[in-house]
Structure 1
Amino acid sequence: MKSKTKNTITKQPSKLVVDVSDFQKNIEDRIVKGKDLLRIAVPLAQNTPRYIGMISHKVYDDVAEKNFMAQYRRWNDYNLELLKQSFDNSENEYRDDYHSSGYCPVLLGEDIVQEQKDIIERQIVNLESLLDKLPLIPCTSEKLNNESTNISKIFDYKKVFIVHGHDTSAESQTARFLEQLGLDPIILHEQANLGKTIIEKIESNSDVGFGIVLYTPCDRGGLNKSDSELQPRARQNVVFEHGYLIGKIGRERVCALVKDSIETPGDISGVVYIPMDEIGMWRYSIAKEMKGVGYNIDMNKIK
């Protein structure tokens, strides 16, 4: 009697059909918006709690609850469509995994808003996991596969690198601002030396998701002419490290904080320069930049 042979069909993994860096930014943006949903405070109704049998159920303001649920549905529907259109298979495994992460067979209804937020948290974790796996996901073209190597690093969204000159006041103001937001400022001179050069120190500490470069009037310089007037400018190492960080983590993840009227490098388009004004509006500008690249920023913490 002949033995039966089984034909095993190996399912090929879905391939990404969009630009890798664009896909990464889109997912990061959806994570930020999901965390914004978690921070929405839905007020309770006046007649609460309500009892069904022996179980108490929180009753929320009807309008506020419906608005929250509507915002969630819009967020979730967009995520599903994004995952559908980003791969060569509309019913791809990444969309299925995301959809499953939001599935809850039984909603007790004791606290419907909190139960919904628990679902959102699971979906955010799923999207964050997708970012972790992104360098391993195949693409439809050699160009996209080459680009995927540029995002293999996973950024640390709890740390911010500070490049500075001799102005300790500007440095401490910036560090305190980051600490108010619950972030960890990585200041070069505070890192252990271990016999490393400046470049090696930056290399070992710049796996962060954002960098702030302090352009403070620590030096003076000008054109090599007899009548040239010397202008205040940042130290040369600061300018160099600014460019190094842009090359390492991306232009959109680095901004320069400029104190007073000083000379900045010319002919560089797209570089963000934020004036360090006395009333402190620079804090909101930097927070907005960090939020734009995926940091979880609570603007209410800015003082």
Structure 2
Amino acid sequence: MENNILKIIDKQILLLKNMTTALDTRLPAWKDKTIKILSDYIDTEDLEALENVNTSTWEEDRKACLELLNELKIIIDENPKEIIEEVLPKNPRKGKLTKSNKVFVIHGHDALARTEVARTLEKLELDAIVLHEQPNEGKTVIEKFERDASQVSFAVAILTPDDTGYPINKPDEAKSRARQNVILELGYFSGILGRSNVAVLYKGDVEIPSDYLGVVYIHMDNGGAWQYTLSKELKTAGLNIDLNKLL
């Protein structure tokens, strides 16, 4: 059985080695998938180090993940009987790993909406990642974005009517739109985290992207009901929160 596990680890190592640049956005998804696969055979405590990899750069994250998998291979090689008894129970994977409590906040020019979302997340004892509030560490904007994006398990996009757009030569069809960076980041996180780990809030009469229809959009009403709806989405996605914290 240990040989099967070693083959799985070797495959994941190969996939990781094929990622050679920080422009490759597959690392967070690779880590989640690797943990999910191995947790069917290995006790969750032995995977916590991989789950908690969170350095300041993409390169260091990749290096740390490779080192941890290679160390795991050595342990399995040297102590196969012990590993089989401890990490290959008859009923594989009884527990779930706790997701990161970091949530990325995608926003436009509406500072009030951004602040309301961030403070709501903090009430739930989650870490709201707002790009401009994070340290630069000498990085460019895109490098800073990639660093912070790789650390989160969920993203909240806020669509606010910051821009106006219309088909060429048809100004009478003008509609309010979210900033282009918001739409770009929404697509980015939908790709690396999956749509189930992205929530979309909207404010006012803002245009909804046509190729993103079919998902749940949460209206930011003045009464604050959106906070409870968002919290339920976070809990459904597996984040460890207490809805009573909003009271």
Under a length normalisation based on structure 1, what TM-score does the superposition of the two structures give?
0.51
Structure 2 residue aligned with 1:192: 135
Measured after TM superposition, the shift of residue 270 of structure 1 is 4.1
Q: Please identify the structure whose Cα radius of gyration is greater.
A: 1
Question: Given the alignment, which residue of 208, 212, 218 partners 1:268?
Answer: 212
Change (3 A) 1:24 1:271: farther
Structure 2 residue aligned with 1:67: none
Structure 2 residue aligned with 1:179: 122
2-side partners of 1:192 and 1:96: how far apart?
44
Whether 1:253 aligns to 2:218 is: no
Which structure is higher in RCO with an 8 Å CA cutoff and minimum separation 6? Answer: 2
Secondary structure, in 3 states, of the residue corresponding to 2:176? Answer: strand
Whether 1:236 aligns to 2:180 is: yes
1-side partners of 2:3 and 2:139: how far apart?
46
CA contact (8 A) 1:209 1:253 kept: yes
Measured after TM superposition, the shift of residue 272 of structure 1 is 3.1
Measured after TM superposition, the shift of residue 225 of structure 1 is 2.1
Percent same amino acid among aligned pairs? 42
Change (3 A) 1:94 1:260: farther
Change (3 A) 1:241 1:197: farther
Note the aligned Cα RMSD (angstroms). Answer: 3.0
Higher mean displacement: 269-278 or 233-242: 269-278
1-side partners of 2:3 and 2:108: how far apart?
53
Measured after TM superposition, the shift of residue 264 of structure 1 is 1.4
Secondary structure, in 3 states, of the residue corresponding to 1:267? Answer: helix
Secondary structure, in 3 states, of the residue corresponding to 1:204? Answer: helix
How does 1:1-303 map onto structure 2 within 5 Å? 12-13=3-4, 24=36, 93-95=88-90, 124=95, 127-128=96-97, 155-156=99-100, 158-206=101-149, 207-303=151-247
1-side partners of 2:188 and 2:108: how far apart?
16
2-side partners of 1:260 and 1:190: how far apart?
26
| Matched letter for residue 193 of structure 2 | I
Measured after TM superposition, the shift of residue 24 of structure 1 is 4.6
Structure 1 stretches lacking a partner, 5+ long? 1-9, 32-91, 99-122, 132-154
Change (3 A) 1:94 1:280: farther
Under a length normalisation based on structure 2, what TM-score does the superposition of the two structures give?
0.61
CA contact (8 A) 1:254 1:272 kept: no
Change (3 A) 1:193 1:224: same
Structure with more of its chain in helix, by fraction: 2
2-side partners of 1:265 and 1:96: how far apart?
44
2-side partners of 1:252 and 1:297: how far apart?
17
Change (3 A) 1:208 1:95: farther
1-side partners of 2:219 and 2:171: how far apart?
29
Structure 2 stretches lacking a partner, 5+ long? 9-31, 45-86
Secondary structure, in 3 states, of the residue corresponding to 1:295? Answer: coil
1-side partners of 2:208 and 2:140: how far apart?
25
Secondary structure, in 3 states, of the residue corresponding to 1:220? Answer: strand
Measured after TM superposition, the shift of residue 298 of structure 1 is 0.8
Aligned length: 174
Secondary structure, in 3 states, of the residue corresponding to 1:228? Answer: helix
2-side partners of 1:97 and 1:208: how far apart?
27
2-side partners of 1:260 and 1:172: how far apart?
17
